[in-house]
Structure 1
C-alpha cells in the first residue's frame, strides 16, 4: 500500500498533517487553518466497549481529556424513560380484542381519548400487512395506523385489519407475530423451564466427565450437517465482529445489504441465558437475510458454558457457530472470570473450550474463540490460549492484535498473528483450524494487505464497519466509494425501516429505533468523506480530523460530533423527538459536551 508520506505528489502541508496523525482534508473545506494544540498524552484512537466498540478524537478545537467506558444506565435514564413512559393502549384493546382484566387492567382502555391525543403518524404505510398476511400486530398503537384504521361517526377508531376477537389478557402482545419474522426465537415455556431449573443437560455432564456426548433431538436425513468453519469463511468478505449495542439485528441487516456474508450476534452472557432472561435471549435472533451466522457467548466456567452450548444447540438450528468471548475488556465481566480475564486462567479456559467443543460437535455446530494478545500488561498468552484451543477441538480462532488493557490506545499489532499460527501448528501439526485476524481495518486495500499476513486465513471488521458500513462493498468490489451524503441518508433510511420491522411501529418501537439509530450515528459521524481528502486518500482509523465542512449542508450535518445534531437527523428520518428528549450514548468516548461544538443544524437552519 502506497504511503502518502512518501509520495512526491503529496504537498508539504498534507505530509505535516499526516505526520501529526491528522486527516489531510483539503484546505477549502477546513473551518480552521489547522486544529489547535492537542494534548499529546491523549491516545491517537481511544475508546472502549464490551467488545469491538471504540472511540476517536473529537472534531477539531482544543481537546479535553475524554471520558472512557460506558455511561451508566442511571446516566442514560432520559433515553429509556421516553421509551417506557408512554401512554399506549392495552395491546389487546388496540387489536380489537376484549381484555380479560377489564377495569382492573393497568393499561389504557380509553380508545377514543387515546386516538384524540395520539401523535401524528409516521410518513408512509405500515410495513406489517405485507409481512404478516394482512395484519398489523400493534393495531391502533401503530404509529402508521392511519393506513389501516377507519374512524366511525362518533370519532371512535376501528382497526380494520387487526381485529383479533377476544383475548385472554393484556399480556397477549405482538411479540409472537414479530418473532415469526426472525429466526432463533425462544419460547416462553423454555424460558420458564430454565428459570425453574427444570431443563436438563446430559450432554454437558458427559462432556465435563470426558465422555461421548449423545445428541438429543432429530438425527439422520433432513438434519443439517456441519460445514467446517474454514469452508464457511473461505472466499467470503470479512466477518462482521460481534458489536455490543450497535451490532443489533437491523445494523447487521444493513451490513448484509452492503455485501457482508458472515455476521455474529451481540455478546450474550451464558449465566443470563441459562436463567431464561428474555432480553438476553432476544440478542440471539437472526434475520433470514443473514447468510452465515454465529452466536457469541461469555462466561468463565466450563459447567456454565457447556450447559449454555447444549441449550443453544438443542433449541436453535439457525446458527452456524458458537463463539467464545475471551477478549472483552469490561471489568464487570472480568469479576466473573469471563472475557479477557479467562485468558489468564488457562486451565479454566481449556475446560470451557473442550467441553463446549464436544457439545457443539455432537449437534453439528462449529465452535470458535475470540481472543486478544493478553489480558493486562505485557503477559502475552495468546499463543498458549490458541494452542490449547486447537488441542481442545475448537474450529476457529479470532485474534485481535491488542491487549484488553490497551483497548484502542495503540494500533493493532498484526505481527502477533504469524506467531499465533506457529503456536497453533506446533500444538497440532497439520491442523486445519483457520486463524482470523482483526484490528483497524477501514479500507479495502488494508483488507487485502492483512489477508497476506502469514498464517491469516480470514478477516473480521468491527469499528471499520461502524464508521463506514459500506466497507463490505468496497472490499468485495475492490474500489473506493466516495459515497455522497444523499447515499448515506438512504442507508440511514434503510436502517430505520429495518428497525421498525424489528422493534415495532408502536411508540415504544419507534423510540427504540431512534435510540439505536442514535447509537449508530455516534460512530457514523466519524467517517471523513473521501472526496474531501488530499489525493482522495482513504481515511485511517487513527486519524484525527480538523474541523471541516462538507460539500453540502447534509454532509456537514453528518460530520457533527454534537448529539443534538444526531437527534435532528433522527427527526428527519423518523419523526420529531419527544419533548425534552436528550441522548447520551452508551459509550462515553462517543459523547461530547455541547460546549465543545455548537449544533450544526441551528447554524444551517436544517
Structure 2
C-alpha cells in the first residue's frame, strides 16, 4: 500500500511538472503582438512604444534561453567534466609551458636572455615557436602607440605589426602607467602573513569598546623585546623608567595572557610602543605590595608623594578619556577634516562586473563628474587578493574618485579603510549596506546590516574615526518590502560620522523589480540634517528624471546613476546639455571602440588581454541592446523598466545593436577585437529580473 501511494505521488508530481512545461511553452510560442496594441496599452504593459513601421512580426520563440549562443542539442556545451584542483593546476602549468605562453620579459625585449629566471622560468622562451603559432594580428593600431615609450607587451601584442622601429634611446623608455592604486608586493606579503599593523583602526576600536568582544577565539598577546603589548589599557610594563607594574589590583576579572577579539577581526594587535599608541593604554599603576626590587638600585616605590602622584595621573587620564567619549567636539569630526561636495554632480554608481575602469573612463569622457569603483569585500582585501585589489584601480582621468567596500564587522571595515587610506589615492570611501546578493547577505554584510542598527553604528563610527577622508554610506529602503526603516536612522547616520548617504529606492526583497520609491527617498532627505548630503538612486534614465527629482525635493543633493548608464552611457551628456540625444549607430560604435581601446590598455594587448576585454565588452552589450533610439519611439523619453520589442533599426548596424541574441553581440565584438577563438561561448552574468515580467513596472 505504501509503495502504491508513493508511486501515485510521484506520478502526480510528474504530471504537474509536465503541465507547467506545457504552459511555459505555450507562453513562449504565443508572444504579445505589439502591432495590435495601442501606445497606452504598450506603456501599461511596460513595453517600449516603438513606431509601427519599425516593428517586426512576432516570431515563434523556442524554450531555449535567448541570452546564450550555445547549441541546445550539443551535450558537450551543457555537461562539463568536473576536474579536481590538482588536475586543473597541472593543466595550467602545462599550458604555461606551451609555446603560446611566451615569457612577458622575453616578449617585451625580444631577447631570450632578458628573463632573470632563465631555465627556471615557468613560461616558454622559444621565440621562434611562438611566432609560428601566434594568432594573426588584429586590424587596427596598438593601443599604446600614441603613448610615450614602447609597448609593454612587445612580441605578444596582437597589434605588433603596427609597432614603430624604435631608436636605441626610445627602446629604453618605459610606458608611464596612467593607473594608480596597484597592490605593492611587499604589502601583499605582509597581508598574506597576517603581519600588517593597523594602529589607528585598533585605537579607535579600543576606544569604542569593540576590540574586546569575543565570539569564537582568543588571541594571545605578543611580547616584543620584553615589553608587554596591552589592549585593555589597564596595565603595561615600562622599560624606560625601570618600574615593573602589576595588574592584579586593576583587572581582577580580565585575563593577562589572553585578550578576546571579536569574530571576523585579524590577529594583528597594536602594541603600546607603536608609533601612534592610544592614550588610554599609557596608564601605569603602581602597587607597593606586589612590586619587585631591582639590583640596579631601583628599590620599591616610595609611599606618599609618588603614590599620590600616580593615583592623580590615573584619575586625570581616565577623566580625559571619559570626557573625550562624552564630548565628541574634543576630537576632529570627519566633516571638519575634508569634504567632497556631491551637490549637483553627476555620480556614476559602483556597478558590479560592468563598472570596471575602462567603462568608467568612457562615462568620464561622456560627462560623469564622480566615479566609484566596484564593490570590494573587506575580508578579501585584508587577505591580499590581487583580483580584489584590482577593483581599487584608478585612472588619472578620474579627478573625483571613490572606492566602495563591503564588510560585516566593525574591525574588518575599520582596518580596511585604514589600509586603503594608507596605500591608495582615493577621495572618499563608500560603505555598501544595501547589496542584495545572497552570498553577501548570508555573511552578515550588505543589506543584512539594515536589520542591525547597532552594527551599522559601530561600523560607521569606527571607519569615520580612523581615516581623514570622507566616509559615505549606500543603503536600501529596508530589508523587507513594505517595512522601510532608513528614515529612522538618517539623523543618526550623520552623528555617527558619515558625510553622505545614498538611498536606493528599493528594498532588499525587491532586488531590482518594480519602480524605485522616490517619495520615500524625499521623505528621508527632508529628515536628514543639513550637514548630511543625501543622494537618491533608482530608475534615472533621462535628463527629465534628473530634473524632476531635484526640483521635487530641494533637500536632495544629487542623483546616483546606475543601470541607466549601462544601457546608455551618454545619459551624462544628455543631462549636462538638457536634451534627448538621438544618437546614431555609428556614434554608438565609436563609444564601443573607445571602450575596447581602454580595455586593451587596462587588461593588455596580448591574447589574454584581448579576450578579457571581449568578455567584459559582451557583458556590457547584454545591457546596451535594451536601448531604443529616440527617433523610433512614439513616446519620449524611454523608461528604464520598458522592455524593447523586436524591431528593425534605421540601418543594419542599429538593427544588429538591438538584437537580444548573444551571437549578434559576438559579431559586434569581432568588429573591434577580431575573430573569437574556436569553441567560444558566452552567457551574461547578470540578468536583471526587472525585464522578466511586465508587472514589475
Same topology, TM > 0.5: yes
Change (3 A) 1:406 1:161: farther
Distance (whole Å) between structure 1 residues aligned to residue 490 and residue 456 of structure 2: 10
2:195 aligned residue: 198
Contact 2:150/2:175 (8 A) holds in 1: no
Contact 2:494/2:531 (8 A) holds in 1: no
1:90 aligns with 2:103: yes
1:25 aligned residue: 50
1:587 aligns with 2:600: no
Distance (whole Å) between structure 2 residues aligned to residue 129 and residue 88 of structure 1: 23
Distance (whole Å) between structure 1 residues aligned to residue 151 and residue 373 of structure 2: 27
1:40 aligned residue: none
Matches within 5 A, 1:380-529: 380-425=484-529, 431-454=530-553, 455-529=555-629
The answer to which of 386-395 and 436-445 deviates more is: 386-395
**CA drift at 1:373:** 0.6
Distance (whole Å) between structure 1 residues aligned to residue 52 and residue 189 of structure 2: 62
1:105 aligns with 2:118: no
Contact 1:61/1:546 (8 A) holds in 2: no
Matching residue within 344, 362, 385 for 2:451: 344
Change (3 A) 1:310 1:12: same
Secondary structure of the equivalent of 2:597?
A: helix
Q: Which runs of 5+ in 1 are unaligned?
A: 1-10, 37-59, 68-73, 151-157, 166-176, 217-224, 426-430, 593-606
**CA drift at 1:249:** 0.3
**CA drift at 1:345:** 1.1
Contact 1:374/1:402 (8 A) holds in 2: yes
Matching residue within 538, 547, 556 for 2:646: 547
Secondary structure of the equivalent of 2:207?
A: coil
Q: Deviations over 1:513-565 (max 9, x none)?
A: 10111011010111011100115x12101112221111111000000111111
**CA drift at 1:386:** 2.5
1:264 aligns with 2:372: yes
Secondary structure of the equivalent of 1:374?
A: coil
Secondary structure of the equivalent of 1:128?
A: coil
Distance (whole Å) between structure 2 residues aligned to residue 489 and residue 125 of structure 1: 17
Distance (whole Å) between structure 1 residues aligned to residue 193 and residue 679 of structure 2: 42
Q: Deviations over 1:298-332 (max 9, x none)?
A: 0010000000011111122x211100000100111
Matching residue within 346, 349, 354 for 2:461: 354
Q: Deviations over 1:231-277 (max 9, x none)?
A: 2x2232x2111001100000000000000010100000011111111
1:14 aligned residue: 39
1:144 aligns with 2:159: yes
Q: Deviations over 1:93-126 (max 9, x none)?
A: 2123523443443322211121122111122332
Change (3 A) 1:215 1:343: farther
Distance (whole Å) between structure 2 residues aligned to residue 163 and residue 475 of structure 1: 45
Contact 1:274/1:308 (8 A) holds in 2: yes
Matching residue within 370, 374, 378 for 2:478: 374
Contact 1:249/1:287 (8 A) holds in 2: yes
Contact 1:61/1:547 (8 A) holds in 2: no
Matches within 5 A, 1:172-251: 180-210=177-207, 227-229=338-340, 231=341, 233-236=342-345, 238-251=346-359
**CA drift at 1:66:** 10
Change (3 A) 1:215 1:348: farther
Contact 1:139/1:162 (8 A) holds in 2: no
Aligned residues: 508
Change (3 A) 1:296 1:76: farther
2:406 aligned residue: 298
1:253 aligned residue: 361
Matches within 5 A, 1:71-86: none
Change (3 A) 1:514 1:17: same
Q: Deviations over 1:343-390 (max 9, x none)?
A: 111111110001111112xx2x11100000111243322123323211
Distance (whole Å) between structure 2 residues aligned to residue 432 and residue 327 of structure 1: 22
2:253 aligned residue: none
Change (3 A) 1:145 1:159: farther
Distance (whole Å) between structure 2 residues aligned to residue 358 and residue 378 of structure 1: 34
Q: Which runs of 5+ in 2 are unaligned?
A: 1-35, 68-76, 82-87, 210-269, 277-335, 692-697
Contact 2:49/2:634 (8 A) holds in 1: yes
TM normalised by structure 2 equals: 0.68
Distance (whole Å) between structure 2 residues aligned to residue 241 and residue 577 of structure 1: 31
Distance (whole Å) between structure 2 residues aligned to residue 378 and residue 390 of structure 1: 24
Distance (whole Å) between structure 2 residues aligned to residue 414 and residue 63 of structure 1: 37
Distance (whole Å) between structure 2 residues aligned to residue 516 and residue 591 of structure 1: 21
Distance (whole Å) between structure 2 residues aligned to residue 566 and residue 338 of structure 1: 35
Secondary structure of the equivalent of 2:674?
A: coil
Q: RCO greater where, 1 or 2, for CA within 8 Å and sep 6 or more?
A: 1
Contact 2:339/2:470 (8 A) holds in 1: yes
Q: Highest CA radius of gyration, 1 or 2?
A: 2
**CA drift at 1:159:** 12
Change (3 A) 1:12 1:578: closer
Distance (whole Å) between structure 1 residues aligned to residue 569 and residue 78 of structure 2: 29
Contact 1:268/1:280 (8 A) holds in 2: yes
**CA drift at 1:434:** 0.8
Secondary structure of the equivalent of 1:388?
A: helix
Contact 1:329/1:340 (8 A) holds in 2: yes
Distance (whole Å) between structure 2 residues aligned to residue 284 and residue 370 of structure 1: 17
Distance (whole Å) between structure 2 residues aligned to residue 332 and residue 404 of structure 1: 13
Secondary structure of the equivalent of 1:209?
A: helix
Secondary structure of the equivalent of 1:135?
A: coil
